[in-house]
Amino acid sequence: MSTDKPATAPAQDSPQESVLLGPQATPRAAAAESTSTLVNRLWSYCELLRHSGVSTLDYVEQLTYLLFLKMADERANRPAKFRRNLPEEPLVPPGRDWASLTTRSGDALLDHYEFILKDLGSRGGTMLGEVFAKSSNKIHEPAVLERLIKDLINPYRWTTEDQDLKGDAYEGLLQRGAEDRKTGAGQYFTPRPVIDAMVDCVRPQVGETITDPACGTGGFLIAAHAHLNQHYQEQLYGDEGRKLQTGAITGYELVRETARLALMNMLLHNIGTSEAKPLITVQDSLAKSPSRFYDIVFANPPFGVGSVTGEAYTARKDFWTQTTNKQLNFVQHIYNLLKTNGRAAVVLPDNVLFESGAGETIRRNLLNLCDVHTLLRLPTGIFYANGVKANVLFFDKTGQRTGGRPGTRQLWVYDFRTDQRFTLKQRQLRREHLDDFVAAFHSGGTDFSARKPTDRFQPYDYEELITRDKVNLDLTVLRSGTDSANTALASPDVIAQEIVDELEAALAEFTTVARALKREADPESVTRTGTTSTADDDSDETGEARAG
């Protein structure tokens, strides 16, 4: 980005015609502070803002706009050796960028900030336009806005120079916002270690198309892009790099505000360009059959209280069965999204493994028409919504084998739940905790039958799976207490948190029953918003845990 600015703002561009636009502010020395320190500083300011009428949600929203502008400025001014593929155009045009904010004060700053939001939001049909679509300023005190920009954001570097933008501080703020909100917090975040392990297992390759039909803030898409950059950097110059910018990696998201965050994340991670067509489509992924098919699907579909059930989607003639269980519908949708021999890695709650009726039908079809080769049982305590019991299911759309034989030969189950204890604060899940699983996943190379079993990693033949009652895949490899090393790690606070998790999971189940009883007693009170479950689906609501 050029640091040259016009002496004055063009009359048609800004309401502050008389305000001089000086040269871009000289970058201050990047403070060598941790991500958590930066996040905590900004979050403490949120507490002060509450007294001036700025809510937590409004503050986080404004931070996303301001941090996007700041990080876009840092990205534009990073050393040339870190710029890849085509020469990079600035994400934000001059006169509407971060530098144009840091040269103003008082009412002029407030007016110009509001002008930036309006101007960038008017660029419909582009990635940048979607980022700022319908945006508005919620911080109306000039002094408050100026302190936020000049004292709390501008002095610090929010990106790293030695690698592609990570935005850990930015994502940390979003997570703090989720924690603060409590309800619905989990809908944005899959634990980063789980995302990275899933991508390391699937191993995306250059030339493959990748999607997430419930992408949240884009975590899977960004991790897949990072994997490609790490392993195929030299091949991403030229045509293959351009494909990554123009649609090889795409996502779908139901909630517009969440899609906005995903677009911000993607632009800052060098996926897509400001003036290009948005790579995130805002729509209900389940509403209609896919028109485009992909080599790889990563997903953590929404599940939990308030989002488990929805409409039966009777228009989906490509579904094996009709159900109001949203997770089961996503399994069917992901199967249909895949190209032949496409690969999927999907986070799913426990009930998908054992639910009768539609659940049994879907599991039978999946085992028959795909190679359902790996199931990772995740521990509790790793999602923002307590009590979540989830898994990662890996399958390839192979079709049946010759002679009409089922696509699945063996399902390998890795039990990472038994005797594993994590919390969000005292003992957080880290990527190295999943090293053994990723090694076990690849222990047979490309031949899953050649994998090496361990105490935690065992195969189940198709014949055994298909004869289980209701094709129940709720399989446990270890019995509690077998792994004494991990059992010894349980401290009183961790045990207490486990009890809380179990109680909250039980409360969620009781909530499901209460809603079902209410529906039977007063059907007119139930709206079609996907907030109630149906008795024939036996849905097990275990707390919202979508993450992207």
Query: Which parts of 278-412 fold into alpha helices (H)?
Result: 326-337, 351-354, 358-369
d(CA 481, CA 495): 14
537 — alpha (psi -120 to 50), left (phi > 0) or beta?
alpha
Helix (H, G, I), strand (E, B) or coil at 97: coil
- Residues 388, 186: contact at Cβ < 8 Å? yes
Provide CB contacts within 8 A for 492, sequence distance 6+: none
* 198: helix, strand or coil: helix
Q: pLDDT at position 16, please?
A: 35
Closest CA to 21 of 1, 33, 3, 6: 6
Given this model, what pLDDT does residue 458 score?
97
Cβ(16)–Cβ(112) below 8 Å: yes
> What pLDDT sits at residue 59?
78
**Residues 456 and 436: beta-carbon distance below 8 Å:** yes
Which residues, in sequence order, are bridge partners of residue 251?
A: 212, 280
| H or E stretch at 178 | helix 168-181
For residue 346, CA distances in Å to 192, 244, 269, 302, 342 come to 14, 22, 23, 11, 13
For residue 400, the model assigns a pLDDT of 95
> Which residues fall within 8 angstroms of residue 521, CB to CB, at 6 or more apart?
none
Task: Check residue 527 and give its pLDDT.
Answer: 44
Tell me the Cα Rg of the chain. Answer: 25
Sign of the C-alpha dihedral computed for residues 216, 221, 222 and 224 taken in this order:
positive
As given in the structure block, the two tokens for residue 337 are 């999204």
- Sheet-wide strand order for 294-299: 280-282, 249-253, 210-212, 294-299, 338-349, 390-396, 371-377, 410-415, 457-461
Crossing angle, helix 168-181 and helix 35-50, to 10 degrees? 40
- Rounded Cα gap, residues 283 and 365, in angstroms: 27
Cβ of 193: how many Cβ atoms within 10 Å? Answer: 18
Spatial distance between the Cα atoms of 501 and 420, rounded to a whole number of angstroms? 14
Residue 405, φ and ψ in degrees, nearest 5? -70, 150
**CA 272/CA 252 separation, integer angstroms:** 15
First-to-last alpha carbon distance for the chain, in angstroms, is 30
> In this structure, what is the dihedral angle of CA atoms 234, 239, 243, 245, given to the nearest 10 degrees?
70
At 295 the three-state DSSP class reads strand
Helix intervals (H) in 269-381: 326-337, 351-354, 358-369
- Tens digit of pLDDT at every position of the chain (548 positions): 333 333 333 333 333 332 222 233 333 333 335 667 767 777 777 766 766 677 766 777 888 899 899 989 988 877 665 555 445 678 999 999 999 999 999 999 999 999 999 999 999 899 999 999 999 998 889 998 999 999 988 988 877 644 333 445 556 666 665 555 443 444 447 888 999 999 999 999 999 999 999 998 899 999 999 999 888 877 776 676 667 666 899 999 998 888 888 898 888 888 888 888 999 999 999 999 999 999 999 999 986 433 344 567 888 999 999 998 889 999 999 999 999 999 999 999 999 999 999 999 999 999 999 999 999 999 988 876 666 789 999 999 999 999 999 999 999 999 999 988 888 777 889 999 999 999 999 999 999 999 999 999 999 999 999 999 999 999 988 876 555 444 445 556 656 666 666 666 566 656 656 665 665 566 554 444 433 333 333 333 333 445 45
Among candidate residues 168, 230, 191, 195, the one with its CA nearest the CA of residue 438? 195
Contact 385, 186 (CB under 8 A): yes
8 Å CB contact between 363 and 402 = no
